[in-house]
Structure 1
């Protein structure tokens, strides 16, 4: 009896909408939860937008004794805002990737998010920028963790190459459902 009315048809969607808590949408939801994105990249981006990942500044707040210096550049205290993209190491990566996707990016996290929200470009360009942004977040976090936990160090050029490959593979997977969009994306990415 949804809404107190007898119904002979069961709808999972209707029951779900009755049970879930309705909140006002956040202004950045389209930049994180866009269609055609890579699910694990979207999830990690969401955690970073909320500042919920275990960066060293947060771990210190929790009482863990840890070296607060950024393991990527060794010149700043590790925080979300430092990692994305005040750190010289990550800025080299993002500057290269953003340029390739046609995005003139600021260097400060909140400004980047605001610029992405206001990005008024064709659909394929916006999709390319968001794919590149999320792939950068994912690959930089993976590099940070590889250095921290496995003592594996790679130069920024290797991360840029990995991001380039990830975006190309994602474009290739889009070709199945939308060959025209994939073609436009591929031409924009490799040009």
Structure 2
């Protein structure tokens, strides 16, 4: 294996010169981030993706990665979707688990306690929103539980226009339902399911206008 030297010293093992500039020191200190005893930096052909894979290491891919990594929805929508996937949204159910007491009744239907599943899928308000969004996308099926919807998302993991729009629509709807929940609880602002659907479609069309390959949607 070819060795590289700086003034007669091996670049991998030599100490950082005290009189070196801060740029040179940064370059030398970067050796600590190279795995495998720094052998990766000695290869004749090197790529950024190769370095990234070696630094990252091996791990099991999560089933919902395509939902977030290949999603053209606004960042605020994908962030709320990530919190929803991880079960970290501050619903009344989750707040109660950490000792925060609040009105447990769902602010959208005023019938059942606010759990994640109820708020987003079992509530009459949310069910009406989801049903309209699914019809707009051409689906003729009932709204399922979140765990089932995540499984269905696996079928929309390629880069086609229809699959990208599907992922966008899911993220935007989750975001808008969560925004509506907060508006009702903290600002006493009420919107109808039809208003939420219209807002979601406006967001989808706006994003599609900004991405050339989605021109067929608009």
Q: TM-score, normalised by structure 1?
A: 0.83
Structure 1 distance, partners of 2:42, 2:128, is 60
Unaligned runs of 5+ in 2: 1-30
Q: Which residue pairs with 1:33 in the alignment? A: 69
Q: Which residue pairs with 1:114 in the alignment? A: 151
SS in 2 for 1:78: coil
Structure 2 distance, partners of 1:6, 1:18, is 9
Structure 2 distance, partners of 1:167, 1:144, is 21
Give the alignment of 1:106-145 within 5 angstroms: 106-119=143-156, 123-145=160-182
Q: Which residue pairs with 2:126 in the alignment? A: 90
Q: Which residue pairs with 1:55 in the alignment? A: 91
Structure 2 distance, partners of 1:116, 1:11, is 32
Q: Which residue pairs with 1:154 in the alignment? A: 191
Task: Tell me if the contact between 1:91 and 1:107 (Cα under 8 Å) persists in the aligned partners.
Answer: no
Q: How many residues align?
A: 181
Q: CA RMSD in A?
A: 2.5
SS in 2 for 1:142: helix
Task: Tell me if the contact between 2:133 and 2:197 (Cα under 8 Å) persists in the aligned partners.
Answer: yes
Q: TM-score, normalised by structure 2?
A: 0.74
Computing the radius of gyration over CA atoms, which structure comes out larger, 1 or 2? 2
Q: Could you say which structure has the higher helix fraction?
A: 1
Query: Structure 1's 133 and 65: CA in aligned 2 closer, same or farther, altered over 3 A?
Result: same
Match of 2:207 among 170, 175, 180: 170
Query: Structure 1's 13 and 124: CA in aligned 2 closer, same or farther, altered over 3 A?
Result: closer
Structure 2 distance, partners of 1:25, 1:6, is 24
SS in 1 for 2:63: coil
SS in 1 for 2:216: helix
